[in-house]
Structure 1
Amino acid sequence: MIDFMIAMAELLGGQYEIWPDGTIQAFNWLGEIAGCGSLTGSDDRYSCVLATSEVWS
């Protein structure tokens, strides 16, 4: 489900950049979710999307 949310955020125009130190800079809410896809572990991606949802709720 998390991978589906990340894929949809990317398709809907989520804009983000990954800095050399690994920091994700998002330019909109969809970018925050799409940026979670750059994390390697599935647990990390899940935690990232969950944290994004908590910030915007």
Structure 2
Amino acid sequence: MKAFVDPDLCIGCTQCAGLCPEVFTMEGTLAVALLGEIPAEAVPQAVDAAQACPVSAIQIEA
């Protein structure tokens, strides 16, 4: 699975980075997803972070 953050939608609320720092980080005022596959143990937290995004800027793809 891979995570993607749409920079045009992200409002920089930091919620994803707080919920799943293994996958999401802040670059300036916007969130970004780390490149590559989400580690298996971090998948549940990454999905939670995507669902918690107030503007639906995060996509998790298989």
In terms of fraction of residues, the more helix-rich structure is: 1
Greater relative CO (CA pairs within 8 A, separation 6+): 2
TM-score (ref. length: structure 1)? 0.33
In terms of fraction of residues, the more strand-rich structure is: 2
TM-score (ref. length: structure 2)? 0.31
